[in-house]
Amino acid sequence: MRTDLAASYGEERLPRYTSYPTAPHFSPAIGADTYARWLSELPAGASASLYLHVPFCREMCWYCGCHTQIARRDGLIAAYQRTLRSEIVRVAETIGRRIKVEHIHFGGGTPTIMAPEAFAELMAAMRHAFFVLPSAEIAVEIDPRTLTAEMVEAMRLSGVNRASLGVQSFDPVVQRAINRVQSFEQTASVVDMLRSAGINGINFDLIYGLPHQTVASCLDTVRRSLELAPDRFSVFGYAHVPSFKKHQRMINENHLPDGLARHDQACAIANALKEAGYVQIGLDHFARPDDAMAVAFKEGTLRRNFQGYTTDQGEVLLGFGASAIGHLPQGYVQNQVQIGAYAQSIANGHLATAKGYGLTDDDRLRADIIERIMCEFSADLGDICARHGAEAGAMLQSASRLKSLISDGVVRLDGERLAVASDSRFLVRSVAAAFDAHLDPVKQLHSRAV
């Protein structure tokens, strides 16, 4: 990987392109009435994925960029779970039929902060409202510091088959600097509990670019993680945006690595995981060669949504909970971010949609190009444009940012086929951004490119 390119492009603030257009472009013009109409218009054969956002944690990790808050009282969590159940019923009634569900993902926050019986009730409500396929992937994000044996049993009985464990770093110095002290032994114990319960799909989340982090500490975290043999890794660069996430002000910026140091950490982690036999997938995922995600990457069927890379082929994502985002053929919708406002909307018998975005034909075309670049590091512009009734030449002409990327050797263009150079794949977001008609380079709304 080229350090000269990391220096040239690494400080750019760019989206992670889990959607196109990205969430900052959502508008209050798309509200509950629009969402209800879109739901009622879903085609008869449509299947869906479900995302449930649980915005509570026992304590705040200072690096966190999620919509979450500290919950000391269990009553607050129980009330939220009841609101989620009501929203599930409301959405299902608006659709008007029991559609198929192929994926369910619990995110947060800490989804397992719910009481085990409340989690089981929520799963039962989803199975009643929707036809959850026997083969459905049901995934839960987990904080290993708080998971109990009772919750593992509730997950097992509810059909959970994948767990994503937040690890971030095993370096105690880094852990103290981000207010997340989590021992290797805690993590190993949780992995053992999950596998004993038959929950064998194990993902680890790691982060680079944290305060006091070094290449050596990153590699030590990878080494220890490999002892637990997860199926997948997600490796993210820390996004320091204290103007948006005030708790990040607790992190001393003087202790953060610069762009080149972040680049070195990302490269070191990637090389170590590949040497251990994992396949690098897209921007930030790694999987065992026989894992479904690695197979999808090899076969060119990998997708990208708000949970990152996915094997989910569906065009409908229904989001439940405060701040949750959904994706339908017509566009995107997002619920009220504030928990109180979200709960009040549901209590009043309404959908909780606060804003969204209606897709244009040009948006759909660019979204397809960006997704292929993010998933495959390449895109056949001729084929994609033809499917959308557009001209590849016109699309290339509109992508003015491509010129410098081509001249710097980041991108190769063979006729109408674009490919990211193998030593420049860490800049895939920069390449995708060349096709982003909505990107405002002045507004610092996103994380650094490296």
Binding-site residues for [4Fe-4S] cluster, in ranges, read 57, 61, 64
Select from 269, 439, 326, 415 the least CA-distant residue to 94. Answer: 326
Pairing mode, strands 100-108 and 47-54? parallel
Residue environment code for 49-70, b if the CB has 16+ CB neighbours within 10 A, otherwise e: bbbbbbbbbeebbbbbbebbee
Give CA separation, 240 vs 58, 69, 244, 249, 311, in Å: 22, 18, 9, 9, 29
Which residues make up each annotated binding site?
A: 51, 57, 61, 63-65, 108-110, 141, 168, 180, 205, 239, 325
E strand map for 255-316: 279-281, 285-287, 303-305, 308-310
Residue with tokens 């959607």: 19
Antiparallel, parallel or unpaired: β 285-287 and 232-237: antiparallel
Smallest CA-to-CA distance from 321 within 171, 105, 13 is with 105
- Asked whether 410 and 425 are in contact (CB, 8 A), the reply is no
Residues 402, 434 contacting (CB under 8 angstroms): yes
- List the alpha helices (DSSP H) in 17-113: 32-40, 74-95
DSSP state of 333: E
**How many angstroms separate the CA atoms of 318 and 285, rounded?**
24
CB–CB of 68/109 below 8 Å?
yes
Helix (H) or strand (E) run with residue 262 in it: helix 259-275
One-letter amino acid at 48 equals A
CB atoms inside a 10 Å sphere around CB 171: 19
Please give the structure tokens belonging to residue 160. Answer: 């959970």
**Coil, strand or helix: which one is 328?**
strand
Q: Which residues contact 402 (CB under 8 A, 6 or more apart)?
A: 396, 411, 413, 418, 431, 434
- Determine the 3-state secondary structure of 341 from DSSP: helix
Give the annotated binding-site residues for S-adenosyl-L-methionine: 51, 63-65, 108-110, 141, 168, 180, 205, 239, 325
